[in-house]
Structure 1
Amino acid sequence: MDEKNKTNSTGLLKLKCSVQNYDWGRIGYDSRVARLFERNSGGQIDEKKHYAEFWMGTHVSGPSFVDGLALKSWVMQNPCLLGDVVLRKWATDLPFLLKVLSVGRSLSIQAHPDKELAEFLHETQPDIYKDPNHKPEMALALTEFEALCGFISSEELDVVLETVPEINVAVSKTSVGEVKGRDLRSIFTKLMSVDRDVISKALSKLVNRLTRENETRQLTSKEELVLKLEKQYPNDVGVLASLLLNLVKLEPGDGLYIGADEPHAYLNGECIECMATSDNVVRAGLTPKYMDVKTLCSMLTYKQGLPEILKGVPINQYVRRYTPPFEEFELDQCVVNQGGSVVFPALPGPSVFVVISGQGMMLTPTSEDGVSEGDALFAPAGTEVQVSSESEVRVYRAGVNNKVLLNP
Structure 2
Amino acid sequence: MLRLQCPVQNYAWGRKPDGGGGKRGSEVAALAAGAGVEVDPEKPYAELWMGTHPSGQATVIGTEGSTLSQWLSTHVFALGDVQQYFGNDLPFLFKVLSVETALSIQSHPDKALAEKLHSKRPDVYKDDNHKPEMAIALTDFEALCGFVEHGELVQALASVPELRSVVGEAAAAAIEASGSKAALKAAFTALMTADASTVATAIQAMTKRLLSERRPLTDKEKLVLRLNEQYPLDVGVLSAFFLNLVTLKPGQAIYLSANVPHAYVSGELVECMATSDNVIRAGLTPKLRDTSVLCDSLTYSQGPPEILEGSSPSTSCPWTVTYSPPFDEFEVIRVRIPGTTRPLGLQEALPASPGPQILLVREGQGRAFTRNPIHAGADPKVEWQEVVLQKGGVVFLPANTPIMVEALNIGVEVWVATINERVFKQGARTKIAVVERDAQLSWVFWLALGLLLVLLWAMATNNLPALQRELHKWASLGQPDAAHTKPT
Q: TM-score, with normalisation over the residues of structure 2?
A: 0.79
Residue 23 (structure 1) aligned to one of 12, 17, 30? 12
Moved more, 312-321 or 174-183: 174-183
Trace 1:92-131 onto structure 2 (pairs within 5 A). Answer: 92-131=88-127
1:405 partnered with 2:424: yes
Separation (CA, whole Å) in 1 of partners of 2:412 and 2:47: 21
Identity of aligned residues (%): 48
Tell whether 2:365 aligns with 1:359: yes
| Alignment match of 1:387 (pick from 402, 405, 422) | 405
Q: What's the CA shift for 1:175? A: 9.4
1:69 and 2:74 aligned: no
Task: Give the aligned partner of residue 4 of structure 1.
Answer: none
Check whether the contact 2:147–2:243 (CA below 8 A) recurs between aligned residues: yes
Do the aligned partners of 1:168 and 1:179 also contact (CA within 8 Å) in 2?
A: no
Deviation at 1:178, TM superposition (A): 5.5
Equivalent residue for 2:291?
293
Q: CA RMSD in A?
A: 1.2
- Greater C-alpha radius of gyration: 2
- Is the contact made by 1:148 and 1:248 (CA closer than 8 Å) also made in structure 2? yes
Matched, 1:38 2:33: yes
Alpha-carbon displacement from aligned partner over 1:197-242 (angstroms, at most 9, x marks no partner): 00000000110000001xx111000000000000000110000001
Tell me whether 168-177 or 115-124 shows the greater mean CA deviation.
Answer: 168-177
Aligned AA for 1:151? F
Question: Which of the pair has the greater relative contact order for Cα pairs under 8 Å at 6+ separation?
Answer: 1
The structure with the largest helix share of the pair is 2
Distance 2:47 2:389 in 1: 21
- When structure 1 is superposed on structure 2, of 23-32 and 267-276 the one drifting more is 23-32
Residue aligning to 1:189: 189
AA paired with 2:420? N
SS at match of 2:283: coil
Distance 1:75 1:175, change over 3 A: closer
- Greater per-residue strand proportion: 1
Amino acid at match of 1:19: V
Q: Which moved more, 1:60-69 or 1:99-108?
A: 60-69
Match of 2:75 in 1: 78
Of the three residues 257, 280, 304, the one matched with 1:306 is 304
1:139 is aligned to 135
Aligned to 1:250: 248
What is the CA distance between 1:146 and its match in structure 2? Answer: 0.4
- Give the SS at the match of 1:352: strand
Distance 1:174 1:290 in 2: 30
Q: Which of 137, 154, 169 is 2:150 aligned to?
A: 154
What letter corresponds to residue 344 of structure 1 in structure 2? L
Provide Cα deviations, 1:55-102, integer angstroms capped at 9, x if missing partner. 10000101001132100001111110000x211111110000000000
- In the alignment, the residues of structure 2 paired with residue 28 and residue 154 of structure 1 have an alpha-carbon distance, to the nearest angstrom, of 41
Query: 1:346, CA displacement in angstroms?
Result: 1.1
Three-state SS of the structure 2 residue aligned to 1:50 is coil
| Residues 115 and 350 (structure 1), Cα distance of their counterparts in 2 relative to 1, 3 Å cut | same
1:331-370 to 2 correspondences below 5 Å: 331-338=332-339, 339-366=345-372, 367-370=385-388
Render the CA deviation track for 1:319-351: whole Å, top value 9, x for unaligned: 011000000000001101113210011121110
Contact 2:335/2:413 (<8 A) preserved: yes
List alignment gaps of at least 5 residues for structure 2: 19-24, 340-344, 373-384, 428-488
- Aligned twin of 1:279: 277
